[in-house]
Structures are given as structure tokens and as C-alpha cells.
Structure 1
């Protein structure tokens, strides 16, 4: 008996201590949850009783050089439904079908879905949103929102770019400067009971959105519009596939115009700008057409520059001292390099000529000789020194790099063809930037659109800065290059770009695309003015013109027309100079 009592006491003590230990563990857990995890469970409780809706921030505007708005916002609405609050589901469904133009099946799916809040449609026109709000249906929410709007539709479409449904940039400046333009979204907070019904007596609280900053760019709407009209005109006249125009300041890299026709409508960016029948195409094929439509040929695509590249060969040869303006050459209509006969555009030859005359005549044998005098090592050195083997760093996405032979793969024939702009490819922006740097005294500039960032009250937030690299060529060589190129326009193959009263330097080009058997050509002209101190440089590229395709014949006159209208607008007045009589030298370059 005594033994049983002792045993029972031990059991009671063990159970007591077990219970005490369990209570201590529970108390410790309670203290941990109440003290150390209180914030977490407080948030969880709030989540159960709070409903949150975003208020989109107004995206910053994009302004041209004169402050004209090129990208703005328009007020639209987002329509949502809250299942637990809808009292007349059939009426709500009928209303959504009528006002939003959606199917009954789609409307029913949204209304009957048991979720805290279901978005029915975004980017609804404000007048439609106002009508929906006027119905007064419980459980239907109409929130005002912003949609990107482009007042000039197709103007500079491939530069500005556009935004998606989430108001984030997709291409162009819209994506490059997305962080600056985007802003910070606000929120609408409402409190609900356990069933998800909003408590009207508590009301809703708002966290107001913060608008994005505005971006002012160097592009001038008036210059862009005129260049776009000129490009469209020559594209139609020559039945060309496309035409690109670049106009920039060679002193600082600011771009006044960047045209790539055909452009597309920024307010309907997914609508193709051609009459292609897409009915039998897959979604991938249609998207590929859109991607091609959105490409900025000046930045994203490479081409063989042809004779405009002779400016680079000229600059390297003069800087290295392997040629002088007075050097004489003989052109029989071709030059034999190793086992290859490389022809001049003038098969009969130019005969005896100085280096300056060779430039005026756009004579291939002259520039082949300069390239061969430089040699592979020196030529490649200048390629690197001038910045041709790196990207320009322009503030647009997707810039293509130069496609060039590896140094060890360049033989005499490759060197000869490179010297007059064939057998490699660069982008138009790379050519324009490099030539700008060679004629501005030798400072490599970064081409760009962005100038400054401002708030909505016009206060300066930030001035955008860009890298430069000085002394890529001497001032003396730069001056000589400008002088020679001025004679190309006043006396040589660029005569169709000559404007009385202006000193214009430039170079024509006619290059053949690959495969050569297709007989497709690219006609171009690069010009700048005033020749003695350039402040405007223009590059025009006509892709696959029909009929006459020589750059001096069809591209130079277009640039002349652009200069005649743009230069006075920029305040560059004609000077009193003696009349010049351009020579009758061939324009086939």
C-alpha cells in the first residue's frame, strides 16, 4: 500500500512539471508572437480587412527643344468589380457589355469571380467611365487613370517610342528614360468586414501619386517635321524601301532630327504601317513585322557606307602624313590589288589628278592608294582612335555595333575595299558621329537627345551630361578635311548640294547591298555647314531607290532642300560670297 502511494505522488509530480513546462512554452510562444512578431500579424490582420487599388502616377512629358509637348498624358479610367459587393449581377453584366463592348461571357467571368477585386478593363475613355459611374451600381469601381498620348501621331515615332498597358516604356526614349518619366503610383485603401464588404462609415484613404519628371530633348519638332516630309517625298518619287535622315550639331552631339520613313502611329503602335495581309500569318510572324516597323534604322541597323566613308580614309591619311592635298595620282579607271582589279565608278578613268581632285571626283583608286600607304596596322589604329570600333553611346536602346573584319583577317584586298567604304558595315549614327568628330577640331562627341530633366513647374532638376574625347585628330588635319570637303560640294561630285551664300562641305555615296547580284543600291549624302566652323551636319540615306540611284544625283538635292529651309530657321544666315561655278565632274560616287 505504501509503495502505491509513493508511486502515485511521483506521477503527480511528473505530470505537474510537464504541465508547468507546457504552460511555460505556451507563454513563451505567446510573448514571442505578441512582442517580436506583432508587426507581422498586424499586417496580416490589416490585409484581411483592407483592400488596395493603385492610382497610376502621371508619366512625365517629353518636350522638344522649344518646349513643345511631344508625349503627354490623357485621362482614362480603369473599371473593376468587387464580387462580394455586387447586388445586381445581371444588370451589372448587361451594363459592362453595353458600355465596354465586351462579350457577355467575358463580363460574367469578371463579375462572378470570387476575388477581392477584379479588373474588367483598363484605358477606358473618360466619358465612358463617367457613364458607368452614373449607373451607381454597388460593387462597380471606376478609377481615373492615365494613358500615354502623342499629339503628333507619327512624328519621330522611332525616337520617342511608346508605352505599354502598365505605362512603362517599350522602345525609344520612353524606355531609355523610363526611371525619370515613370513617377510613383499612389494607392486607394478601403476597410472591409470579414465578408469583404467595404465599411462605408470608415471610408477610404488615399496615398496620392507622385508625377514623373519631364524630359526636354534636343530634337526640334519643326525641323523633324520638315525632314520627315522631305524623306517621304523622295521615298515616293524613287519608290524606295525606306529613307533615313539625321541632323545634328557636330560640336556637341545634340540631334535636331532623326527620321526613318515609313514611320508608324504612336497612338496605335501595334497597327502595321503597311498594307500587308496578315490573315494567314501566325502571331509570331505578325510580331516580327511589328518589330521591324519599330526599328530605328539610324541606330539599330548597319549598312555599307560607300564613298561617304572616304572622309575617314582622308582624315587618317592626312593625320598620318602618308598623303598631302597636293599629292598627284593617276586613275586609269581601276587599280590592281594583288590578283584583283578594283574599278573606279568612272570606268574610263580620271587620268592625272591631285588628292583634292580625287576627293572631288570620288575616285576609288586614289583612296585605295591612301589606304595601302597607311597599311593595316595604321588603318586599324585610326579605326580605334576615331571610335569606330565602339558604340557611340547614344541615349536610345538597341544601338548596333560596327561589323568589321578582325585585324588579322585584313589583307591588301580587304584594306583596299575598306578604304572606299565597302566590305564592312556601320550604323548611320556611327558615321555621322565620327565625321562630326573629325570636322569639329578633333573632339569625339556622344550623340544624344536628352538635354535636361524638369519638374512640372518648369524647375530644372538635372542637366544631362555626355562623355567627350579630345584630340582624336589634330586641329590642322580637321581644318584640311573641312576645306577639301567644301570643294567637293562647290566644285565636285557634291555640286547638287551647293547653296549660294553658304559654305557647305560634304560627300556623296552610292553603295551596293548584299548580295551584289540583287542589284540593289543605297544612295546617300553627308553634308555640313558652315564649312569653316560646322554647327549643322546632315546625313541622308535612301534605301533601294528605283531608276537613277547615284548619291550625287538623288540624295544631294534632298539635303540641299533641307539645308535651305532649316539653316535660316536655326539662325544661320547666308554670307556674301562670290558666285561659285561647280564643275561638271561625274556625280557617280
Structure 2
């Protein structure tokens, strides 16, 4: 067999040339890469290198305060400390563990896990009071860092809790005004930068670089501490007396929509907003037996602002709207007469009046004084379903009020095509639909203030720490919802309700007060649970303040004129002199 000949020299040269070219290309690629890294991307990698030798700690910005209309501080900050450890700098681990466990009142095992954890910086405990932080700092423990921080503080505990809201551990607003105006209140955090060596140990001679925090701006609100306090005391008193589920009181300026007080008892402790102990007091529920999901559901209920987040059937207070609509349409006059036998048959429904024997023959004025359902069923039919819905829109009821709190609920209302004679009849005296108490108060304000729609609100201005106004908060100027003549007649009628009708228990000698009572059943019907309410304003001829009380599920006597009207009388007795609304000589309010 023939022996294979060796490969030619030409073939070997080609192979060497190929290897050489590959090496040259690799070398060129390496040079290009080095040029790119050393020239074009030098800044980027320089930053990475610095980051490896820098340790950054945050400096929390002081959150802006919330001030009432007179400058009383409703929400502020207190200095606290965050205690952390840097593992690579600790020289005496056992001493650090023992000291931090003792001073911070933490289990030794918990502290040990964090001290022995390999990390650039490990937080041991936040929101430590300043006195404790200063004691730990005085121990001069290597590797232990004490950074001053801020914790939100509410000087008056539960006062206006469902309006103010509170902040989380990150100092951001969670509910209420705290979240609505978070952008202004929050401020901008600062930083502390320190240099370390390759082992992560801070360089003694390098010092530190600080970027100082920018504090948040203050929020000035229309809430009045004194009026809020008066209203809260009145709400607590009637809730205890009537063993009610909860009580809401609103006090506002009907001319411009500024809210002076918004009480929803039971309130909760803003300095400890997750604690359910007080909220569940007197119930069969024990917080210790609840799952975390159940606890959170209860907290969400506890934090709800019933005046804004919940809807209800307004009952006879809504007769103010029905009467105003009828006057606007021109289908009723003060001299019109109605007949009340104690009920009204509407199709196959027998709808009763609260006075079983009836009111007999009565004028339009007397129908409002008596809060007579049959008369208002007749008035609603005169207006008609289509126009009635039109007045709902005209008065602003079909839209949210635009209040500066989150979670406002909207009206729950029949569609026009679903409104028959029975639905129209019940709507005329405030049943078979639901609105929020805030919407009801805003609508009545608009009807009695001369006829212009208001936007209820709390925010007045954004200010700096020295009180200089940075931004004045403005609110939409509402449209004219009723004629001034209609507004004047409604003020006359509602003053008669207090002076001669069902709202007599709101009467204060020497004060001209207008108002309307209401008593309605909660859904579902037949549970014997009621909502009692009263809305009042003063002075009746030129309102400067309007107040509303709603009592949910009172025990025993539940009529609004009997239990809710006296609450507003007590509130007015306290706040009218405070607001500079003086008593006048008694005189009849007449209208042409």
C-alpha cells in the first residue's frame, strides 16, 4: 500500500497566515475596547468606582405642618432616631449586641441577627426617641450609626382624625389631607456620603459630604380647632346617650364652602392609627384573635370619613331640594293648599305620613313646617320625573362636590327611564336614592346662600415655615343653581320650620335660625334601624354658618327633630358668639 505524502508547504503557510490574521483582529478589538473604556466610558466607570467606596445614608426632610384657620398646629413633627450598624466597622460585636438590646428594649437574638448580617448597613430600629438615641451615641460604639429623623406628631390625638389623616413609615400621607396635599407637605430628603476603603471601613480622614434636606411647606386649612372641639364634644355626648353606631357633624360657611368642622365619632388616635383596641371596645371582637386581613378590614372601616366616603338616604332634609325645584319651576306658591289624610295612595302603594291621623288641610308653608310626606308627594308629581332629574343636575347633585379629600362617593340614583310614580313619590321626600352628607350640606348651602353652588373644602393656602403664603388655594366659583328670589323664600320657609314647626328644638332665643329635620330608615327596610338628622343655618336671613348632624342607629326615640336638632342648637350656642354672630331682637322674617 502507498504511503500518504506530507502536506505541501503552501498549505502550511496559509494556515499560519489565517492564525496570524485572527490574532491581529483580536488585538485590534482589544485595543478598541480599551480605548472605549479608558476614553469614552471613563466617567461612567469612575462613578462606579466611587460608588464602591461611598456609603450613602438618607436624611429625612421635615414634613410641613398642618395649621388651622387661626394658626393652631394640628399636625407637626417630633425628632426621632434611626439606629443602624455597619458590619465591617464593628470592633466589639458582643458589646454592641448587649448595649443595643438593652437600650432599644429588643430581644438579644433579634439584635444579634442584624449585627452579624454581612451588609453595607443594617437598620436595627427606627422611630427611636431622641433621648435613647443620644444615650446610644454617647456610648461611642464602633460601627453603630445614629441618624436623626422625623416622626409625624398630632398634638390633639384623635381630633379631626378622619380629616387630617396620617402618614406611613416612609413619611408619606396615607389618608385624609395628609395624602391629598402630600406633594406640598413632603419636602425633599437629604443625604450623607462617607468614603470607605475596599473592606467597607470608613476612612477617618475623608470626612463626610452632606446634602441638606429641604423641609416641606405648611398647609393652612379652614378647620377651626375650637369649633371642631365643640362639635366633637356634642357628637360624643349624643352618641353615648343614644347608644348610636356613629355620629357625624358638619359645620361650614355656606357662602364660600370653607369647612370649620367635620366630626365622625368614633374617631381614632392619629398617633397610633393601627391600634384597634378602642375601636373594638364594647364589642365581642378581640384584636388578638383576628387575622391580619381581618384587622386591616377593620382599620379601613375605622378610617372611613362617613361624611364623604359613605352615602345614605337623606330623608326629609331633601324636601328642601324638592321645594326649591317646585318654586323654580313655578308649580307651587306659598298660598297653595294640600290635603293630608295620613297617607297617599300611589299606584298600589300606600305611603304613610309620619302623623298617622294626617295633617288635614294645610298650606305649602305648613307642609314644610309639618314635614308632610303626602303634600310633598303631590309637589313632586307637579314637578314631574324628567324635570325633577333636571333639577338634580342643575343643583349639582349628579356630580361629586369636589371636596379636597380622597374617596368621595357619588350619588346612587335611578335612571330616568326607571322612575315611575312610586319612585318619584319616594324621591320627593328623600328616599329610594342615596347621597353623601357632604353633598347634602353643600346643596342646602347653595340653596340658602342666594342660589350659588359652593365647593366644600379645607385647603386655604400653602405657606413656608415663616407663614409667608407660597400659594393661595382657589376653588371653582359655582354656577347659579336657583334664583335669588327662590333662595329668599326657602330661607323664610326654613326659619318657620325652627320657629313654629318640627325643628323647634333647634331654636335659640334671640337667634334667627333656619333648618330642617329628617328621620329615615336604613336599608334594608324592616330592621328597625333609623338615621336621625337635622340641618340648620344662622342667621336665617343672611346665613354665615351652616351645621348638620347625622345620628346612625340611635336607640329609643329616633326622631330627628327630637334628638338631632338639640345637638345643632348646642353647637350653635357655643360657636355663634365665637364667630361674632350676635343675637338680635326677635322679629318675623317676611317675604313679599
Bucket of the pairwise TM-score, normalised by the shorter protein? over 0.9
| Aligned partner of 1:120 among 112, 124, 135 | 124
Q: Which residue number corresponds to residue 213 of structure 2? A: 209
Q: Which residue number corresponds to residue 73 of structure 1? A: 77
1:529 aligns with 2:533: no
1:264 aligns with 2:273: no
- Rounded to whole Å, the distance in 1 between the matches of 2:269 and 2:476 is 33
- Rounded to whole Å, the distance in 2 between the matches of 1:330 and 1:401 is 35
- Rounded to whole Å, the distance in 2 between the matches of 1:247 and 1:35 is 69
Shift of 1:481: 1.1
Q: Which residue number corresponds to residue 92 of structure 2? A: 88
- Rounded to whole Å, the distance in 2 between the matches of 1:431 and 1:46 is 61
Q: Is the 8 A contact 2:253 2:544 kept in 1?
A: yes
Shift of 1:35: 3.2
Shift of 1:501: 2.1
Task: Report SS of the residue matched to 2:502.
Answer: coil
Alignment of 1:223-234 (within 5 A): 223-234=227-238
1:157 aligns with 2:166: no
| Aligned partner of 1:26 among 25, 30, 34 | 30
- Rounded to whole Å, the distance in 1 between the matches of 2:264 and 2:46 is 56
1:348 aligns with 2:351: no
Q: Which residue number corresponds to residue 97 of structure 1? A: 101
1:483 aligns with 2:492: yes
Q: Which residue number corresponds to residue 440 of structure 1? A: 449
Task: Report SS of the residue matched to 2:209.
Answer: strand
| Aligned partner of 1:469 among 457, 472, 478 | 478
Q: Is the 8 A contact 1:172 1:396 kept in 2?
A: yes
- Rounded to whole Å, the distance in 2 between the matches of 1:229 and 1:37 is 68
| Aligned partner of 2:187 among 183, 187, 198 | 183
Shift of 1:154: 1.1
Q: Identify unmatched segments of 5+ residues in structure 2.
A: 1-6
1:56 aligns with 2:60: yes
Q: Which residue number corresponds to residue 201 of structure 2? A: 197
Task: Report SS of the residue matched to 1:80.
Answer: strand
Q: Identify unmatched segments of 5+ residues in structure 1.
A: 581-589
| Aligned partner of 2:334 among 325, 346, 349 | 325
Q: Which residue number corresponds to residue 461 of structure 2? A: 452
Shift of 1:206: 0.7
Q: Is the 8 A contact 1:391 1:399 kept in 2?
A: yes
1:388 aligns with 2:403: no
Task: Report SS of the residue matched to 1:256.
Answer: strand
Instruction: Report the more deviating stretch, 33-42 or 105-114.
Output: 33-42
Q: Which residue number corresponds to residue 312 of structure 2? A: 303
Following TM superposition, the consecutive aligned residue runs of length 4 or more in structure 1 with deviations greater than 3 angstroms are 3-20
Q: CA offsets per residue over residues 182-231 of structure 1, 9 Å max, x none?
A: 00000011111111111111011111000000000000000000110011
Q: CA offsets per residue over residues 487-514 of structure 1, 9 Å max, x none?
A: 1111111111112222211100111112
Shift of 1:5: 6.6
1:363 aligns with 2:410: no
Q: Which residue number corresponds to residue 522 of structure 2? A: 513
Shift of 1:284: 1.3
Shift of 1:468: 2.7
1:43 aligns with 2:52: no
Instruction: Report the more deviating stretch, 114-123 or 3-12.
Output: 3-12
Q: Which residue number corresponds to residue 586 of structure 1? A: none
Shift of 1:27: 2.0
Task: Report SS of the residue matched to 1:542.
Answer: strand
Instruction: Report the more deviating stretch, 268-277 or 33-42.
Output: 33-42
- Rounded to whole Å, the distance in 2 between the matches of 1:290 and 1:111 is 34
CA shift in 2, pair 1:68/1:10, >3 Å? same
Q: Which residue number corresponds to residue 539 of structure 1? A: 548
Q: Is the 8 A contact 1:454 1:461 kept in 2?
A: yes
Q: Which residue number corresponds to residue 401 of structure 1? A: 410
Task: Report SS of the residue matched to 2:288.
Answer: coil
- Rounded to whole Å, the distance in 2 between the matches of 1:485 and 1:441 is 14
Q: Which residue number corresponds to residue 133 of structure 2? A: 129
- Rounded to whole Å, the distance in 2 between the matches of 1:143 and 1:306 is 56
- Rounded to whole Å, the distance in 1 between the matches of 2:391 and 2:588 is 37
Q: Is the 8 A contact 1:500 1:579 kept in 2?
A: no
Shift of 1:15: 4.4
Task: Report SS of the residue matched to 2:423.
Answer: helix
1:569 aligns with 2:572: no
- Rounded to whole Å, the distance in 2 between the matches of 1:38 and 1:150 is 51
- Rounded to whole Å, the distance in 1 between the matches of 2:410 and 2:147 is 45
- Rounded to whole Å, the distance in 2 between the matches of 1:578 and 1:367 is 29
| Aligned partner of 1:244 among 230, 239, 248 | 248
Q: Is the 8 A contact 2:531 2:553 kept in 1?
A: yes
Q: Which residue number corresponds to residue 172 of structure 2? A: 168
Q: RMSD in angstroms over aligned alpha carbons?
A: 1.6
Shift of 1:532: 1.7
- Rounded to whole Å, the distance in 2 between the matches of 1:483 and 1:26 is 94
- Rounded to whole Å, the distance in 1 between the matches of 2:15 and 2:47 is 45
Shift of 1:163: 0.7
- Rounded to whole Å, the distance in 2 between the matches of 1:314 and 1:38 is 79
Q: Is the 8 A contact 1:315 1:438 kept in 2?
A: yes
Q: Is the 8 A contact 1:247 1:539 kept in 2?
A: yes
Shift of 1:13: 4.9
1:316 aligns with 2:325: yes
Q: Which residue number corresponds to residue 286 of structure 1? A: 295
Q: CA offsets per residue over residues 86-114 of structure 1, 9 Å max, x none?
A: 11111111112111111122111110110
Q: TM-score if structure 2 supplies the norm length?
A: 0.95
Task: Report SS of the residue matched to 1:501.
Answer: coil
CA shift in 2, pair 1:402/1:579, >3 Å? closer
- Rounded to whole Å, the distance in 2 between the matches of 1:564 and 1:242 is 23
Q: Is the 8 A contact 1:57 1:186 kept in 2?
A: yes
Q: TM-score if structure 1 supplies the norm length?
A: 0.96
Aligned length: 579
Task: Report SS of the residue matched to 1:370.
Answer: helix
